[in-house]
Amino acid sequence: MLSTAFRWRYVDSANQRAKNHAMTKKEESVMISSREASELLGVSLRTLYSYISRGKLGRTIDDVSGGSLFNRAEVQDYVRRRDRGRNPKTAARASLNFGLPVLDSAVCAIKGGRPWFRGIDAIAYSETATLEDTAALLWDKGTSAGIFDQQDRASDDCPGDEEGGGLKISPLERGPFLNRFSAWLLLQDGKNTDLDFRSHAALTAVASRIVYAAVSIAAGSTRWRKPVHEVLGDAWGLPLPRHDVLRRILVLHADHELNPSSFVVRCTASTLASPYAATLAGCCAARGVKHADFTQAYTLIARIVDGEDAMRLVSVHEPGSETLPGFNHPLYPKGDPRAGAILHSLRAHAAPGSMQRIDAFLDAARTQCGVLPKNDFAVAAAAHVLGLPADACAALFIISRTVGWNAHALEQYHSPYVIRPRAQYVPE
């Protein structure tokens, strides 16, 4: 196993207008004077300006008065972060919401505004890597050759098409990808109870089987030996050049540090539940609209691609209204680099009309609301431009993240500890 460990860290940045996507745009845009900012901070004006010089806070200059203006949301957030260190209980609670690191991991880090897989810049890595390469990297396998190959171990409880000799999915099981994959995981957890949790090889073999099953369910066939992006591209009828967009989406979503689903996976694995159960736990967490809400982003992009006016669509979400779906990731105040990479790949393979409308909307959102796209928007945009249904977004995400979930589970199985935080009792 690799020995270098990264602490999961929140990446702070001065003058971060998109710091918290839970805030309304009205809250984010309120500007306050130097006096009001110093009162919020509980410091003198002299100390306030020292914060500016040290890069702790940003400011703008009022065009009329020439005085300094401060973003109230940024000042309030600085107070919260500063006060965490003064109160251990507050710091512990804050760690549960994009706060301080709570676990050690060598799988993924977010630093410098970019995700890193085992010390490798994931954005640069995604330019050429496949999901197979990524699984080998995150699972510490050494080689990606045949990493998902199940042909020699195929059995009648692997999902797939009827001709492939796999599990015959009943009409009740036909439906959304996540429902079918979750049902398969639950079935396998009940059947596979004899697993050596001390064996890395045995655990990675199960992880491989889980990814194989997910791809087979999405593609509707167990008869595949190609790279995953080509299997899905063929199954969904995409021309070969467009498979590359799927490849990059799969690589970039393989892991993203200690997000809610990965934390749930680690909690489950810490009890020595099977990788099937741990992956199922991740699937359950991923169902929530606060995790990765591709549906709302897909609906928004449908309106964009259908030709609705970009400025009018953005105006609906001006300050005081709800956040645009698929925008502003709190860990990336300067923009989600995964979204930028996916949209860049998409432009190389898309018909000009669709991408022109999407880019016009992105420009309007940036200039009018000061918001930047995140991965949800980029994946939903890819699905639209490539002519894929909304469920393809969830399939791509879950297949990809299954690699990361199992990397976290593998790491957790080697820990002697059960993840068991304490709760602060608050009487009603």
Q: Which domain holds residue 71?
A: 25-83
Percent of the chain past pLDDT 70, that is, above it, reads 81
Same domain, 75 and 135: no
SS3 for 114? strand
pTM, two decimals, is: 0.76
Same domain, 73 and 136: no
For residue 283, being part of any structural domain is answered with: yes
Name the band, by pLDDT with cuts 50, 70 and 90, for residue 3: very low
Same domain, 183 and 318: yes
Q: Please, how many CA atoms are within 13 Å of residue 168, restricted to the half-sphere of its CB?
A: 4
Handedness of CA 109, 112, 115, 116 (dihedral sign): negative
Q: Please, how many CA atoms are within 13 Å of residue 255, restricted to the half-sphere of its CB?
A: 32
DSSP code for 254: S
For the chain, state the CA radius of gyration: 23
Per-residue pLDDT at 261: 96
Q: Interior CA angle at 383 toward 290 and 132, to 5°? A: 85
For residue 93, being part of any structural domain is answered with: no
Same domain, 282 and 407: yes
Same domain, 146 and 224: yes
Same domain, 148 and 230: yes
**Total count of domains within the chain:** 2
Same domain, 56 and 142: no
User: What does the pLDDT look like over 50-98, one tens digit per residue?
Assistant: 888 888 888 888 877 888 888 888 888 888 777 665 655 555 554 455 5
Asked if residue 108 lies in contact with residue 255, where contact means CB atoms within 8 angstroms, the answer is yes
Arithmetic mean of pLDDT, 146-173: 52
Question: Is residue 358 scored above 60 in pLDDT?
Answer: yes
Percent of the chain past pLDDT 90, that is, above it, reads 49
For residue 7, being part of any structural domain is answered with: no
Domain final residue pick, 33, 64, 83: 83
Q: What's the N-to-C CA distance of the chain in angstroms?
A: 47
Name the band, by pLDDT with cuts 50, 70 and 90, for residue 8: very low
Per-residue pLDDT at 88: 57
Asked if residue 148 lies in contact with residue 208, where contact means CB atoms within 8 angstroms, the answer is yes
Name the band, by pLDDT with cuts 50, 70 and 90, for residue 428: confident
Name the band, by pLDDT with cuts 50, 70 and 90, for residue 1: very low
DSSP code for 307: T
- CATH code for position 205: 1.10.580.10
For residue 178, being part of any structural domain is answered with: yes
Lowest-confidence pick of 16-25, 37-46, 247-256, 378-387 = 16-25
Same domain, 159 and 298: yes
Same domain, 71 and 200: no
Same domain, 145 and 70: no
Tokens of 371: 């918001």
Mean pLDDT of the chain: 83
Question: Is residue 22 scored above 80 in pLDDT?
Answer: no
Pairing of strands 108-111, 114-117: antiparallel
For residue 314, being part of any structural domain is answered with: yes
User: What does the pLDDT look like over 211-252, one tens digit per residue?
Assistant: 999 999 999 988 888 999 999 999 999 999 999 999 999 999
For residue 14, being part of any structural domain is answered with: no
Per-residue pLDDT at 367: 86
Per-residue pLDDT at 96: 52
Asked if residue 355 lies in contact with residue 347, where contact means CB atoms within 8 angstroms, the answer is yes
Same domain, 67 and 170: no
Per-residue pLDDT at 219: 92
For residue 94, being part of any structural domain is answered with: no
Question: Is residue 349 scored above 60 in pLDDT?
Answer: yes
Asked if residue 246 lies in contact with residue 396, where contact means CB atoms within 8 angstroms, the answer is yes
Max distance between CA atoms of the chain, in angstroms, equals 76
Measured between alpha carbons, how far is residue 196 from residues 104, 149, 193, 205, 282 in Å?
A: 24, 21, 10, 11, 22
User: What does the pLDDT look like over 109-141, one tens digit per residue?
Assistant: 999 999 999 999 999 999 999 999 999 999 988
CA dihedral 327, 330, 333, 334 (to 10 degrees): -50
User: What does the pLDDT look like over 312-346, one tens digit per residue?
Assistant: 888 776 544 456 889 988 888 889 999 999 999 99
For residue 373, being part of any structural domain is answered with: yes
Question: Is residue 384 scored above 80 in pLDDT?
Answer: yes
Question: Is residue 253 scored above 60 in pLDDT?
Answer: yes
Same domain, 189 and 313: yes
Q: Who wins on pLDDT, 394 or 222?
A: 394
Sheet holding 68-71, edge to edge: 31-33, 68-71, 60-61
- CATH code for position 42: 1.10.1660.10
Q: Who wins on pLDDT, 369 or 301?
A: 301
